[in-house]
Every structure is written in C-alpha cells, then in structure tokens.
Amino acid sequence: MKIHSTSYPYASQRNAVYSTNGMVATSQPLASQAGLRILQQGGNAVDAAIAMAAALTVVEPTSNGIGGDAFALVWIKDKLHGLNASGLSPQAISADKVRAAGESEMPTYGWTPVTVPGAPSAWAALNERWGQLSLLECLTPAIEYAENGYPLSPTLAKNWGKAAVKFAKLKRESEQGEVFDEWLKIFTSNGRAPELGDVWRSPDHAVTLRAIGETNAKAFYQGELAKKMAEASKQAGGYLAYEDLAEHQVEWVEPVKTDYRGYDVWEIPPNGQGMIALMALNIMKQFDAVKHNDAENMHKQIEAMKLAFADGLHYITDERDMKVSTESLLCDQYAAQRAALITCYAQQHCPGEPKASGTVYLATADNQGNMVSFIQSNYMGFGSGVVVPGTGIGLQNRGHTFSLDETHVNYLQPRKRTYHTIIPGFISQGGKAVGPFGVMGGFMQPQGHMQVAMNLIDFELNPQSALDAPRWQWLKGNQVTVEQEMPAHIVQSLQAFGHDVTIAPDRGSFGRGQAILRDPDSQVLVGGTESRTDGAVVGY
C-alpha cells in the first residue's frame, strides 16, 4: 500500500495531511480540535477518541448524541481490541406488546424504538482500560462547547433544518405529538432551527456531560440521570426502565477479519453489519487484480455487495441468536461459491446457505503507536426525537431495525441487541497496524468500507484520494445510484450490465469517512477527511 501516493487526483480532492506526533480526523473541525487538544495535553489516542466522541454529541447532534450507541477498534501494543457498546432492548418490551399497541412494524420515532444507550459506557470503559487522562478531562472540551456555544457549519445547518421541519410535522400529525416537545424546545427557537453561523448553546447537555465525567458514567446508568430517563419513559408509556440502564454492560469482543490481497481488514463481529463489508471483499478477492475506474470491476463490486447484503440481512443479529457462525460466513470456500453466481448481467440475489457453525465516525493516532477507530450514532439523524427533560439527552431509535415477524432473525425480544448499521474499520499487515478507517451512513457503511478499502489496497490511493473517489450505492433490486463525479462511460457501461443507474443530485447519501494510515518505515502518519461534509483531519 503506497500511502503517500497521489496517483488519481479528483476534482474535489483536498490534500492529505502528514504528521509524526499524532493525528485526529472526524466530521466536525471543532471535534477534531478537541482531540488534538487532548493529545497535546498528554493524552493518548484513546483519550483523544473519547474527547472527540463527546464533543461530537454537542457539535454534531444531527448525527449522534449522549443517548446513542458506540463501537470501537483499538490498536494497543501490537494487538487489535474490539468494543461493542450497543445496548439491549428493554426487558418490558415484546413484539406482542408493540402489535397490541396498534403497530404492524417497529415505529421509527418516539419511545418504542428506544434501546439502552451505550455511548457513555464506551467512553468510560475505554478510559478505564487505557486512558492516560481522567474521563472528566477528556470530556472538558465538549462541556465547554455546550456551555459557551459554537457556530453551526454548513452541512450541520442543512441537516438541522431538515430535522426541525420533520419533528414539527410529527408533533402536528402524531397522536402522541407531545413526545417531541422537548426536542423542539432544545433544538429550535420559536420553531426555527439555528442556521449557518448561528451560535448554539446547550447548558443541560453540559451538566449531563460533567456528571458522566465526574462519575465515570455511573450517573448515567445508576444515578440521577438514569432515574430521569426512566421517569420520562414511564410518563410517556415507554418501555425503558431504570433496571435496563443499571444492568447495562459493554462487551469486549474479538474483532473479525478477512485477508484481502495480503492485508487484514478488520470489523466488529455481529450484531454489527461490518461482516457485510468483509463478505463482499471475500467475494472480490476471488477475481484477479482489478483496475481502477473499470466498469466490469465496478459491476462485480456491486454484485458482490448485493450477495453480501442478501446473506447479512438474513443472518446478522445479536450473535447469541445467529443461525450460522461468523466463520462460516467468512469462509473462502463459501465466498468462492457466491462469486460463481456473478455473471455479466445484474441479478437479484437470495441468501446462501453457509455451513452452520445518522452516525459519526472518528479516527485517532498518537506517537506511541496507538490507533483508534470509533463510531457512535443515534440512528436516523437525531434518533427517536425523544429528549429527556432537563438533561439534553437525545435518545436513539436503534430498535427500529427489529422485526415484528417471528420468523425473522432480528425478531424483537426483550434484552436483545438489534442489527446494527454502525461499523468501525481497521487495516493491518503482517501483525503491524496500517490504520483506522470508516464511512458513516446507515446501510451505505459496508458499501463505503469496501470501496475505500479497495481504493487503498487495490488502487494504492492515499487516504484523501481514497475518500474523495466517486462512490456508488446499491439501493435494492438492481437499483444503483452514483455520484455526479462518476465518469460517464462507467455509468453507461453499468447500465449495459443491467443495472438501473441513477445519478444522485448531491453527495449527501454516499457516506462520510475518515482514514489515518501509518507508514511502517518512517512512522509518518497520513490522514484524509471527508469532502462530503464539514470534516477536518489535523496533526502535529
């Protein structure tokens, strides 16, 4: 991997960033500054990741919050560690109860899709295991942003405005519209969202972050904050209870990988959908080395991703409830069987039968060799639209991905983890770290992971070029959308291969990524950030 290569310049390309002492990258410049500040204060890559994650709940509430979930891949002392901080469904919920309430499928908004938030527990667990600064020190930049305010950046303002319109409409039209009152109170003023350049403050958010920092998140799960969440849920007829929060635990997991052309590409195991990216890469490595901007190669990528999604959506759920093992899904023999199904024409694929057995992403690296790939989300932008009064805690709607169909692998049950879209990625080679990478954006995430990984490994693009490259997105059936920057001959050829291709009017649905790689010889860090949002990569 030629991490210094600039072999394919894109019109939107920024320059890759180089440094030696440390580097951070995420979708908001102020959050990146928070991470850099922590590194310069003596923190390590883990401390910087925590600081950025907390800051993002303040400076990008359109994509994540204190009430969301988180996953992390952490490279420490030549070993990769995995953290699953996704929460369980409440003990009191069941598919029968949801159906009895008049729902034919899991609701998108309100209290019903709320699961136990895991993000604060991720911060505390990472800090306890590897942090060099206290949790409160790591959260201080976020607290200051919440107390003092910050001006909205362009993409943030655009998404905030859309959310304000949506939740105002939900309040007017929903039978339980009052559930959105606190969201409208906190995130709008007289019904108007803050606009580009407006300064927004969130004092309740600051108080909550301080309580989390001072108690190592115990206030959130077993203290006053937990009581406030449980009481708000009870008053609104929700299912989340104090006991659900008090019993929450993070899970340290063994990351899963595939060997892709001499590099190990790593993901978190289920309940996350990172397996889909690995399965698609496994299929692609069945073919000879591929060419960049080659229509036949892109056709194979799309078909590989469709095959991986067919299996992933059929099998992936809480790992304790999966019908097949992760090993069987990642088996080379099974990948060869799936690759053999790819022809010269687009197809709609069914699940195979292997042998039984709205999100923020950040990356950090320090001068000790530590690197972190971290992702957290409320799902669907602001999540459920529920904000707990007096706390600034916006709760996720992650439970929306549960099914009320008892034959479905992701059938709603009490105390179960749902299929999760958010996935951190990592690349290593020969037992040495290459670096963290990730692409946000719902079901675009494994598609973005595969495309960025191939850009880095197959096409030897540097991190910034790999992120800037035009992307495709499979939607359903044979429907594919591509960015306007995609070369015209590629679009025409994909149509000839049988894909129903549309050109997207903007780049908003194609994910937002970050990447930091380390040169194995010089130890120089090379980073890229997303040109599709307000991102920043900074080093020193």
How many Cβ atoms sit within 10 Å of the Cβ of residue 99?
13
- Asked if residue 110 belongs to a known ligand binding site, the reply is no
Cα–Cα distance, 482 to 507 (Å, whole number): 9
- Three-state DSSP class for 313? helix
Half-sphere exposure at residue 306, Cβ-oriented, CA atoms within 13 angstroms: 25
Nearest to 428 by CA among 82, 126, 25, 78: 78
> What sections of 149-294 are H helices per DSSP?
154-173, 181-187, 203-215, 218-221, 224-236, 242-246, 274-284
Q: CA-to-CA distance for 400 and 118, rounded, in angstroms?
A: 16
CA distances from 317 to 111, 251, 307, 313, 417 (A): 22, 15, 17, 8, 7
End-to-end CA distance of the chain: 23
- Cα–Cα distance measured from residue 370 to residue 360, given in angstroms and rounded to the nearest whole number: 21
**Buried/exposed code over 396-420 (b: 16+ C-beta within 10 A; e: otherwise):** bbbbbbbbbeeeebbebbeebbbbb
* Residue 359 among the catalytic residues: yes
8 Å CB contact between 429 and 101: no
In the numeric block, the tokens 């790593």 are attached to 266
Segment holding 532, helix H or strand E: none
Q: Across the chain, how many H-helices and E-strands are there?
A: 18, 21
Strands 479-482 and 500-503: parallel
The burial class, CB within 10 Å (0-12 / 13-18 / 19+), for 102 is exposed
From 26, 62, 359, 421, active-site residue: 359
Opening angle at CA 56, ends 55 and 60, nearest 5: 130
What 8-state DSSP symbol labels residue 426? Answer: E
Please check whether residue 375 is in contact with residue 422, taking contact to mean a CB–CB distance below 8 angstroms: yes
- Burial annotation 312-331 (CB, 10 A radius, 16+ → b, else e): bbbbbbbbeebebbbebbbb
Q: Specify binding-site residues.
A: 442
Q: Specify binding-site residues for L-glutamate.
A: 442
Q: Which residues are catalytic?
A: 359
